């Protein structure tokens, strides 16, 4: 059911022969699914050379022709959605229905970028003197090195691959070694759609060794990373040494503000479903819940009921509504967050511990009465934990919501138009969902501020991230 993994360099699939590697583990069972080859230094050099060669070929093609190949890749991904989603669930743990949506959304992202690449317009600025043309052009930056994490094996790579390819760049992607199959299947769709050799290259290895080899290469002109803040800062530093463009999509700690004029039960249903998606291992997952006093007990009761009704299990089994955590590190982290919260007077309204003795399952958890300086309120939990606390006034909750050094996503619920506008303006965050959790679409910018990173993926900003602006003054 899983897949035969390999590297993809210069249009060739390279298997494990003679290479180091590692096993890929099914988080629902703890057992090995398959083995993943690591790229050697010579493989990485071959990928760099191929990407440079591929860039020149791809850049010379019209955006119209590039779009045709990209749309074919999107169609192949749709055709293969059931299979790719199965691979993803096996390696990452999320429920099959979520995997399927992720794969289909990935196909939409390719289509959107394919079209947007045809609209990478420049402009003519009127000259000061007669006969002078002032031309602004958008040009692809060149070879891109991209690094993606384990929580969205297809979606995170596709944002980088489709953005780069639509702009006319080539790319070397190092996807997660823990969940490599989704990106492997995605790259196969592009290869089968006819992307020329060298334009798209897939490598795996020891993350630090790969990034430290690729980023300083003079051939690489742009870095894109999704993952944790400490790693993001390290890679941004490496990029800065070569004065290279970088997009950093890092962690957050998303506040949810529920005002007393919102329907607390409707808000609880909407946000609880969003909270436990992918067992909370989502960078825009709602992670700190502030509920205005008058609605607090109703919201907590409904949210807790939702959490208790979740069916934990293997993501491929029918009826499962939440899968395991992706790796044992998350289990240890959840235990540490819960113990810290309990030690500071927090009450466990649902869950609070591991589930079963096979795989990496942790119960959907609701924590109340926890102080603002508890670990779960200050560090990104990246798991199925929902701390819920009361607040009194607008100004107070804005101050608490903005108190952390992160700013990726935020959510608010209110029935007042004035409050909706005011909270949207007041929250320091790259994305804000007001009475909505739909903050991630192919057409709209996705990215954070403060320590959550810089740059956007998605929307016209996502395409721009792979382009240089050139000005030509022609007399
Ligand atoms: P981690 O910090 O070790 O790794 C995060 C990701 O970066 C992994 O995919 C890893 O392979 C990669 N990585 C690590 N060192 C690297 C290097 N030197 N060069 C290139 N890539 C490197 O942590 P983890 O245990 O995998 O996850 C822990 C935390 O990371 C989570 O709590 C969460 O805050 C964050 N995270 C964020 C996202 C996101 O979507 N923004 C995704 C996954 C993890």
CA 288 to ligand 1 center in whole angstroms: 21
The per-residue DSSP string of 258-286 comes to: E-TTS-HHHHHHHHHHHHTGGGG--TT-E
User: Ligand 1, atom 37: nearest CA belongs to which residue?
Assistant: 227
Catalytic residue flag (residue 396): no
Closest to 35 (Cα-Cα) out of 204, 281, 263, 213: 204
CA 176 to ligand 1 center in whole angstroms: 9
Helix (H, G, I), strand (E, B) or coil at 418: helix
Once rounded to an integer, what is the mean pLDDT over residues 386-410?
98
CA 227 to ligand 1 center in whole angstroms: 4
Ligand 1: lining residues by beta carbon, under 6 Å = 147, 149-151, 176, 207-208, 211, 226-228, 230-231, 234-235, 249-251, 283, 329, 380, 382
d(CA 93, CA 326): 6
Per residue in 31-88, pLDDT (tens digit) is 999 999 999 999 999 999 999 999 999 999 999 999 999 999 999 999 999 999 999 9
Per residue in 430-471, pLDDT (tens digit) is 999 999 999 999 999 999 999 999 999 999 999 999 999 999
List, edge to edge, every strand of the sheet that includes 467-474. Answer: 123-126, 133-140, 467-474
- Residues of the chain within CATH 3.40.605.10 domain(s) are 7-250+450-474
Per residue in 254-312, pLDDT (tens digit) is 999 999 999 999 999 999 999 999 999 999 999 999 999 999 999 999 999 999 999 99
User: Ligand 1, atom 13: nearest CA belongs to which residue?
Assistant: 207
Centre a 10 Å sphere on the Cβ of residue 389 and count the other Cβ atoms it contains: 21
Q: Indicate if the pLDDT at residue 16 is higher than 90.
A: no
Closest to 56 (Cα-Cα) out of 166, 118, 121, 142: 142
Indicate the burial class of 319 (C-beta count within 10 angstroms; 0-12, 13-18, 19 or more): exposed
Ligand 1 pocket, mutate which of 148, 155, 228, 253 (most atoms under 8 A from CB): 228
d(CA 278, CA 254): 16
User: Ligand 1, atom 25: nearest CA belongs to which residue?
Assistant: 329
Helix (H, G, I), strand (E, B) or coil at 256: strand
**Contact present, 345 and 371 (Cβ < 8 Å):** yes
| CATH classification for the domain delimited by 7-250+450-474, as one of 3.40.605.10, 3.40.190.10, 3.40.50.1820, 3.30.110.30 | 3.40.605.10
| Whole-number percent of the chain with pLDDT over 70 | 100
Mean confidence (pLDDT) of the chain = 97
Closest to 136 (Cα-Cα) out of 474, 374, 419: 474
pLDDT of residue 359: 96
Catalytic residue flag (residue 283): yes
pLDDT of residue 242: 97
**Structure tokens given for 98:** 């979520």
Determine if residue 139 is left, alpha or beta; phi over 0 gives left, psi from -120 to 50 gives alpha, anything else beta: beta
Q: How many CA atoms lie within 13 A of 158 on its CB side?
A: 30
The minimum-distance atom of ligand 1 relative to the CA of 380 is: 34
CA 470 to ligand 1 center in whole angstroms: 34
- Residues of the chain within CATH 3.40.309.10 domain(s) are 254-434
Per residue in 370-382, pLDDT (tens digit) is 999 999 999 999 9
**Structure tokens given for 134:** 């002032």
pLDDT of residue 17: 84
**Structure tokens given for 245:** 């463009």
CATH homologous superfamily for the domain 254-434 = Aldehyde Dehydrogenase; Chain A, domain 2 (3.40.309.10)
The minimum-distance atom of ligand 1 relative to the CA of 149 is: 9
User: Ligand 1, atom 21: nearest CA belongs to which residue?
Assistant: 207
User: Ligand 1, atom 17: nearest CA belongs to which residue?
Assistant: 208
Once rounded to an integer, what is the mean pLDDT over residues 5-28?
96
Q: Indicate if the pLDDT at residue 250 is higher than 90.
A: yes
d(CA 26, CA 13): 24
> Catalytic one among 102, 283, 380, 451?
283
- Residue 1 — pLDDT band, cuts 50, 70, 90? confident
Ligand 1 pocket, mutate which of 227, 406, 456 (most atoms under 8 A from CB): 227
User: Ligand 1, atom 2: nearest CA belongs to which residue?
Assistant: 228
CA 208 to ligand 1 center in whole angstroms: 11
pLDDT of residue 102: 98
**Contact present, 472 and 135 (Cβ < 8 Å):** yes
Indicate the burial class of 108 (C-beta count within 10 angstroms; 0-12, 13-18, 19 or more): middle
pLDDT of residue 22: 97
CA 9 to ligand 1 center in whole angstroms: 24
Quote the pTM value: 0.97
**Contact present, 231 and 225 (Cβ < 8 Å):** yes
In sequence order, which ranges of 31-141 are alpha helices (DSSP H)? Answer: 41-60, 63-79, 81-92, 96-117
DSSP one-letter code for 312: B
pLDDT of residue 275: 98
Per residue in 321-374, pLDDT (tens digit) is 999 999 999 999 999 999 999 999 999 999 999 999 899 999 999 999 999 999
Q: What is the 3-state secondary structure (H, E, C) of 125-145?
A: EECCCCCCEEEEEEEECCEEE
d(CA 216, CA 291): 47
């Amino acid at each position: 059911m899983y897949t035969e993994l390999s590297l993809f360099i210069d249009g060739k699939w390279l298997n494990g022969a003679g290479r180091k590697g590692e096993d890929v583990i099914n988080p629902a069972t703890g057992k090995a699914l398959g083995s993943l080859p690591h790229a050697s230094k010579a493989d990485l050099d071959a990928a760099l050379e191929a990407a440079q060669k591929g860039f020149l070929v791809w850049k010379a093609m019209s955006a119209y022709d590039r779009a045709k190949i990209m749309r074919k890749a999107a169609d192949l991904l749709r055709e293969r959605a059931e299979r790719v989603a199965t691979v993803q669930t096996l390696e990452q743990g999320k429920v099959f229905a979520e995997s399927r949506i992720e794969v289909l959304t990935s196909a939409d992202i390719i289509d959107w970028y394919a079209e947007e690449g045809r609209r990478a317009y420049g402009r003519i600025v009127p000259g000061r003197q007669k006969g002078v043309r002032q031309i602004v052009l958008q040009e692809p930056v060149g070879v891109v090195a991209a690094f993606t994490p384990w929580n969205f094996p297809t979606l995170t790579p596709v944002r980088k691959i489709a953005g780069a390819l639509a702009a006319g760049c080539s790319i070397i992607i190092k996807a997660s070694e823990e969940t490599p199959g989704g990106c492997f299947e995605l790259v196969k769709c592009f290869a089968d759609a006819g992307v020329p050799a060298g334009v798209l290259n897939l490598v795996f290895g020891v993350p630090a060794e790969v990034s430290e080899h690729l980023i300083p290469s003079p051939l690489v002109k742009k870095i894109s990373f999704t993952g944790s803040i400490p790693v993001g800062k390290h890679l941004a530093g490496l990029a800065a040494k070569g004065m290279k463009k970088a997009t950093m999509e890092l962690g957050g700690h998303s506040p949810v503000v529920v005002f007393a004029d919102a329907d607390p039960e409707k808000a609880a249903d909407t946000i609880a479903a969003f909270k436990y998606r992918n067992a909370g291992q989502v960078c825009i997952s709602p992670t700190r819940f502030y509920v205005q006093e008058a609605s607090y007990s109703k919201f907590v009761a409904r949210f807790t009921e939702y959490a208790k009704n979740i069916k934990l299990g293997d993501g491929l089994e029918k009826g499962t509504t939440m899968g395991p955590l992706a790796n044992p590190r998350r289990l240890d982290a959840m235990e540490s967050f819960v113990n810290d919260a309990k030690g500071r007077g927090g009450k466990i309204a649902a869950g609070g511990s591991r589930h079963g003795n096979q795989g990496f399952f942790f119960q959907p958890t609701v924590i109340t009465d926890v102080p603002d300086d508890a670990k779960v309120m200050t560090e990104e939990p990246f798991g199925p934990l929902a701390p819920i606390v009361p607040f009194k006034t607008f100004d107070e909750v804005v101050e608490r919501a903005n108190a952390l050094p992160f700013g990726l996503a935020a959510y608010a619920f209110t029935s007042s138009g004035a409050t909706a506008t005011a909270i949207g303006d007041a929250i320091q965050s790259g994305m804000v969902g007001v009475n909505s959790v739909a903050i991630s679409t192919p057409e709209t910018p996705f990215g954070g501020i403060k320590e959550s990173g810089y740059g956007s993926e998605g929307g016209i900003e996502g395409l721009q991230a792979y382009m240089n602006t050139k000005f030509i003054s022609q007399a």
